[in-house]
Amino acid sequence: MAAMPLPAGPPTDVAPRDLAARIAADGPSFSFEFFPPKDDAGERQLWQTIRELEALSPTFVSVTYGAGGSTRDRTIRVTERIASDTTVVPVAHLTCVGHTREELRAIVGELAAAGVRNMLALRGDPPGGPGQPWVPHPGGLDHAVQLVELVRGLGDFTVGVAAFPDVHPEAVDAQADARALAAKAEAGAAFAVTQLFFRAEDYFALVERARALGCDIPVLPGIMPITHLAQIERFTQLSGAVVPGDIVSGLNRYADDPASVRAAGIEIATRLCDQLLDQGAPGLHYYTLNRSTATRRIHADLQTRIG
């Protein structure tokens, strides 16, 4: 692999809120995703992780909503604190779940007042949970493309969206997923972040399908290492991502050795990241689960491999 050092951080000559330009400039970018803590202990753990990863000067960090939008207030509070108390650029997740249009406008306004200008616009999971039919909130929005339009109509915001290397559970086929991504870009989305996946070829096939439809926004691959076996079933249930059989069987070899499962999971994720960067992915987006150890290990291994 040709030498291509990971950047020390986003370029300083790019406007802080022009996140798409940050991703495109001098790539590859790298970013981290957190979820709002449920209690004080979780909040302490989160802020320890944020401080540890802040030292790597990521392009941005994002903060999720809980199922059904249940962590709205904590999402806003954590995102605002990242904006005010750290050196990194925060991206706030927004979902259509459980909100009217007016409530969504108010949330965007609250975030903007705190200096947050970057949003990830998602439809969100069905209110009844994964596998249940989608039902829009009365007075709310039905699709992520509508949320992109709403946010873009409220001001100078950079909006990201989701993309799916594995077919979305509600999509009729992979081409439908590509059309949905292209429609969100047409509505004003400036970048996309994929759901987790395990094969580089699945990511690049999605990008090619989208490009064929005229969608040329950067698509950041979402990476989550398997660090314990219980994650495999949960991944499939929550995201629809299929863990390949050879990965499952390889990890099952270490079923009685949690440390070896963790090491193998990190190595698998590192190889995937290596392939993605080598073949031209614009960056990496790590799903951290509010822990930094595995992410920092992957990042360090990549730096060693690519010089």
pLDDT digits (tens, 9 = 90+) for 76-103: 888 889 999 999 999 999 988 888 999 9
Residue 212 lies in a domain: yes
In the prediction, which pLDDT does 240 show? 66
Write down the residue that tokens 């495109």 correspond to.
24
> What span, in angstroms and rounded, lies between the C-alpha atoms of 198 and 222?
10
β pairing state of 219-223 and 283-287:
parallel
**What is the pTM (predicted TM-score) of this model?**
0.88
| Tally: H helices and E strands in the chain | 11, 8
Residue 3 lies in a domain: no
In the prediction, which pLDDT does 138 show? 87
Assess whether pLDDT exceeds 50 at residue 11. no
Domain that holds residue 82: 19-306
Q: Residue 265 CA to chain centroid, in angstroms?
A: 19
Residue 11 lies in a domain: no
Identity of residue 66 = G
Choose the most confident range, by mean pLDDT, from 169-183, 190-204, 244-258: 190-204
Q: Which CATH number do you get for residue 268?
A: 3.20.20.220
Residue 142 lies in a domain: yes
Residue 4 lies in a domain: no
Q: Residue 34 CA to chain centroid, in angstroms?
A: 9
Contact in structure between 283 and 30 (CB atoms under 8 Å): yes
Write down the residue that tokens 């989160």 correspond to.
46
> What span, in angstroms and rounded, lies between the C-alpha atoms of 297 and 51?
16
Give the three-class secondary structure for 273. Answer: helix
Identity of residue 238 = L
Tell me how many domains the chain contains: 1
In the prediction, which pLDDT does 13 show? 42
Mean pLDDT of 156-170: 88
